[in-house]
Amino acid sequence: MKEENKFLGEEKISKLLLKFSIPCILSLLISSLYNIVDQIFIGNSTLGYLGNAATGVVYPITIIAVAFAWCFGDGAAAYLSLCQGRKDTKNAHIGIGNSILITFIISIIFLILGFIFEDKLLYLFGASSSSINLAHDYFTIILAAIPVYMLGNSMNAVMRADGSPKFSMASTALGAIINIILDPIFIFGFNWGIKGAAYATIIGEIATLIVSIIYYTRTKTFKLSLNSFKINLGVFKNVLKLGVSTFITQISIVIISLVCNIMLAKYGAKSKYGADIPIAVIGIAMKVFSIVINIIVGIILGAQPILGYNFGAKNISRVKETFKKVTIISFIVGIISTIIFEICPSAIISIFGSNNELYMEFATLTFRLFLMLVTLTCLIKMCSIFFQAVGEPLKATISSLTRDIVCFVPLVIILPKYFGIKGVLIASPIADLIGIIITTILVIKFFKNISIINANEAPNISFQDSKKGVIITISRTHGSQGKEIGKLVAAKLGIPYYYKEMTALAAKESGLDKEFISSINSSKDIMHELYLTSTPVKYAIEAQEKVIKMIGEKGSCVLVGRAADYVLRNNKNVVRIFIYAKKEYRIKKVMEMYHDNKEKALKNIERSDKNRASYYEMISNQKWGNPENYDLCIDSSIGKEKTTEIICDYINKLK
């Protein structure tokens, strides 16, 4: 295992970044084409800025659909990765099938509600009396194909997790290319105007979905059947948990766009620019900026495996080096973008049409004010994903939402009262300044709290000799003395005992740090479930599972914790034991062991049990502590010696 990931800990970081980041950047840039091509052709048609205002109104509404599609798709992709790690072929296809089915159901609901409340939605997101008819024409066509759009986006993520990122990128690229080809034909050749842009978009989406469906008939690690599409709430709950962070990110974009459009329409109508020009221009600025952000996201996503492995190995010097390089690249990309936006905004704007003097004036003002501190936005986004890569989901959320929701949204509402339409524009750089201060504090605190450990330093421990026989796995509630009982059972039966030894061996075999592996179940992060899906934890879990299987192959032993009962589920010699105790008994034992007061002992018990349950359910997709999952459940309140005796008697009777 150490050899498999050795290059992540030893290869030149710049070389690794090129290897991993370039495909990510290309894939994201292709996705950006969908969002920008329509506006280029529409802006250069007779529709002008009114056409772009109409698409600018529709865009955030479609993001709501994308939020659900990516939530289910990314959740299913992450669930597939977990199933691959635990060699679970039983539930992987169910998670994916349920994801597709629920995506389709939500898309139909979205379609129905969209048609019922169409005009109300368009006015809510900033349509004016001048742009409403165009927005209506565009949205009606886009809405009719929303199931295609959502299914294509949802299924694409799973293709990447199935080990086919190039195929995933190709399916998206095909849709984008078709859109680019058909836009001028439909808009100018057939003179269909904004409807032509909508038709070109949905035909591209249909092509993407067809390619995805074809792929799903020849997948690598799972096979879909009719049973895959039967609703399984237990499995889908896990899919949903894994995708919720993506949903939050996308919905925050909707909130920003909604508030921004409302304020632009309100204060734009009071200015010389009117309501439509500001909405059209902001829509363009956001989509141009999305190209810059996607480059940054591609870079840091490519760095995730490097950061994840080296953080897990506590090779912090390489974590710092990777962070430094990505920061420098992000800064350079941001500075170059800022220079272009400040010096020659008219060159960018003219790509989207320039047939109106007021339009050009406001567009120039927007690029120079709204995107003034785009470099800081890039750094904030980079740091947010960096925190995800090193298993800090709470810091990632704070970094991202502070800038977008906590700062930008209130500022966009307050500042126009004093500065008119310009208040909307200056809200962005002010939010960037506040956001980068908070993010910098989080970064400094993060690096201050971690210590450097030699990456080549492996624990001096080895597998213990054993003979064929019963393998005893012990799961336990915190304070039930499961560790001590397990040790007594091993001694009485004369077989090896593994507890901390499992994490030490996993560290030795993988190159990860022993303390990091040991601590993944003791995280105090309120987003513990998201923490368990982070890159470094994934490496640790894979290392643990491989070592547990190797221990099982050695022969009879006692294994405490780490979902060993599930990892060894295919071993016929395994006896699964769950040790629990009354809460008062456990509180007393925790107070004795850790010298806690009663209140603190109770909190520690609740947190520890919750973390163990989350870990077990993520690994096994089964409920931790459910008697049906164990061969013997025993209340240790009778005392650890008596409990040990009962367990040994039970084992001896099985021989």
Same domain for 1 and 72?
no
Q: Where do we find the tokens 């009778």?
A: 638
Q: Where are the beta strands (DSSP E) in 534-652?
A: 557-560, 574-580, 632-635
The pLDDT score that the predictor gives to residue 524 is 56
CB of 76 closer than 8 Å to CB of 96: yes
Query: Does some domain include residue 100?
Result: yes
CB of 263 closer than 8 Å to CB of 345: no
Pairing outcome for strands 497-498 and 632-635: unpaired
C-alpha triplet 72, 73, 78: angle, nearest 5°: 100
Same domain for 141 and 168?
yes
Query: Does some domain include residue 33?
Result: no
Query: Does some domain include residue 339?
Result: yes
Q: What span, in angstroms and rounded, lies between the C-alpha atoms of 552 and 571? A: 8
The pLDDT score that the predictor gives to residue 580 is 92
The pLDDT score that the predictor gives to residue 655 is 66
Same domain for 97 and 63?
yes
Same domain for 230 and 157?
yes
CB of 567 closer than 8 Å to CB of 548: yes
The CATH number of the domain holding residue 592 is 3.40.50.300
Task: Give the domain-ending residue among 207, 242, 264.
Answer: 264
Structural domain boundaries enclosing 604: 471-654
Same domain for 425 and 489?
no
CB of 462 closer than 8 Å to CB of 433: no
- H and E: helices and strands count for the chain: 28, 5
Q: What span, in angstroms and rounded, lies between the C-alpha atoms of 152 and 175? A: 10
The region that residue 191 occupies, defined by phi over 0 for left and psi between -120 and 50 for alpha, beta otherwise, is left
Query: Does some domain include residue 626?
Result: yes
Same domain for 507 and 384?
no
Length of the chain: 655
Query: Does some domain include residue 463?
Result: no
pLDDT along the chain (655 residues), means of 10: 59 84 81 77 84 86 90 85 70 90 95 93 87 92 94 88 81 89 92 92 94 91 90 85 79 86 90 89 87 89 83 83 93 94 89 81 92 94 87 84 90 94 94 95 88 53 85 92 92 91 81 76 62 74 86 91 88 91 89 85 88 82 86 91 92 82
Beta bridge partners of 560: 474
Task: Give the domain-ending residue among 240, 264, 288.
Answer: 264
Query: Does some domain include residue 464?
Result: no
Q: What span, in angstroms and rounded, lies between the C-alpha atoms of 603 and 219? A: 45
Query: Does some domain include residue 99?
Result: yes
Q: What is the pTM of this model?
A: 0.79
Q: What span, in angstroms and rounded, lies between the C-alpha atoms of 563 and 502? A: 12
Q: How many domains does the chain have?
A: 3
Same domain for 544 and 645?
yes
Same domain for 87 and 235?
yes
The pLDDT score that the predictor gives to residue 4 is 45
Same domain for 314 and 414?
yes
Same domain for 420 and 532?
no
CB of 455 closer than 8 Å to CB of 511: yes
Same domain for 477 and 328?
no
Task: Give the domain-ending residue among 427, 456, 485.
Answer: 456
Same domain for 304 and 255?
no
Q: In sequence order, which ranges of 86-164 are alpha helices (DSSP H)?
A: 92-116, 118-124, 132-144, 146-161
Query: Does some domain include residue 218?
Result: yes
The region that residue 575 occupies, defined by phi over 0 for left and psi between -120 and 50 for alpha, beta otherwise, is beta
